[in-house]
Amino acid sequence: MSQAVSLIVFPVRDLAQAKKVFTNVTGVEPYADAPYYVGFRVGGQEIGLDPNGHKQGLTGPLPYWEVKDIKKSLQSLQEAGAQVAQGVKDVGGGKLIATVKDADNNIIGLVQSP
C-alpha cells in the first residue's frame, strides 16, 4: 500500500518561532509559508508545521505515509479495523491527505502527491 513516510507534521503553538527553529534545523527556507502551514523539503522528505494541530488533538509529530491511491488505501485501512479520523482533504496543489486511528488510538496519516 505505502511507498514510505514522506511527510511529518509537527503541531506548533507559535508558528513564527517554530519556523525559525526548523529553518535552522533543516538548513533550508520554507517552500510553503502560510498562516495555516509552513513546509520544508529536505532530501525528499517534507517537514510541516501546523499551528492548528493541537486543536485537532495532536500531541506530537504525525507521520504521513505516501500512497498511490488515497481512497483505496483509506478503504483498505477501514477494512483492517482502522477508523477514519479525517477524510480525504485537498491541502493545495492537488496534494491529498487523510488520517485514521488504529485500535490503540494512534493516528496514522496518508498522503497522495499529485
Q: What is the DSSP string of the chain?
A: -EEEEEEEEEE-S-HHHHHHHHHHHHSS--SEEETTEEEEEETTEEEEEETTTTTTT--S-EEEEEES-HHHHHHHHHHTT-EEEEEEEE-STT-EEEEEE-TT--EEEEEE--
pTM of the model: 0.85
Check residue 1 and give its pLDDT: 64
Q: Which fold has domain 2-112?
A: 2,3-Dihydroxybiphenyl 1,2-Dioxygenase; domain 1 (3.10.180)
Determine the pLDDT at residue 23.
97
Segment-wise mean pLDDT, segments of 10 residues, the chain, 114 residues: 85 97 96 96 94 90 95 96 95 93 90 94
